[in-house]
Amino acid sequence: MKIGVSTLAFYPQPIEEVLDFLETWNIKYCEIINEYPHDELDEDVLGSYQVNLTVHAPLSDINLASHNQTIRKSSIAEVKKSFDRAVKWDAELVVVHPGNMPVMGRKISEKIFQYNLKSLTELSSYAEDCGICMCVENMPKIDGLLFQDLRDLNLLLEDINEYMTLDVGHAHNSGFSVSDMFCYPLIKHVHLSDNDGTWDQHDALGTGSIDFVELFNSLNDFKYDGVLVVEVKNTIEVVKSLKFLNKMI
């Protein structure tokens, strides 16, 4: 299994401290959330570590489905920067969140979904030009977030010919069983965290209600060969999760 850790747990520590920690734990993959202070990073510094990288496009102030066209186009531009940085940092994969429903968008929801499709189609073309794999992530059960349903996300990705980041915690929070999570051949990347099903808590693995025995059986049946990225909320949760994985694998 390829195990990675997201910089989410370390924010806002310098990237050197993050990568030092991962090397201490013999973790070979790191997912960099491409926001300050992990936006403009020195590729020579990154290259000095024996850690492979994936990139997560920025989360803050981004809405690919905005009906304010200035905001939507700015959001596209910011995500494109993540593709450019992935090329510089020798990362082959970028995780992208779909858009969210604007406050005034509910009465024009069809148009909002059209904007979202238009944005992701443009990003898909740009990613292909960069030689980067774009993986769009399923969202948790939070009002206004688009593509909480794996079935809907899979249909979108079939339409734009791209891949899925399966966030297991998000899917669990959205009511999907572990066996139902792996019905989608476009899954190319996986985020791991735990929760009790009521909220997207990003807790340590093994501390919530996700059945990880069934999860790893499903991963084997799926013949998943991508990275499993631990995406939890602090370093204590990272350590708990890595110890849990060491027992599971």
Task: Quote the pLDDT of residue 52.
Answer: 98
Domain span at residue 211 reads: 2-248
Q: Is residue 195 predicted with pLDDT exceeding 90?
A: yes
pLDDT tens, residue by residue, 9-29: 999 999 999 999 999 999 999
What is the domain count for the chain? Answer: 1
Task: Quote the pLDDT of residue 201.
Answer: 98
Task: Quote the pLDDT of residue 24.
Answer: 98
Specify the pTM.
Answer: 0.97
What is the average pLDDT across 72-97? 98
237 burial via Cβ count (<10 Å: 0-12, 13-18, 19+): buried
Task: Quote the pLDDT of residue 57.
Answer: 99
Q: Is residue 249 predicted with pLDDT exceeding 90?
A: no
Task: Quote the pLDDT of residue 248.
Answer: 87
Percentages helix, strand, coil for the chain, rounded to the nearest 5?
A: 45, 15, 40
| CATH, residue 105 | 3.20.20.150
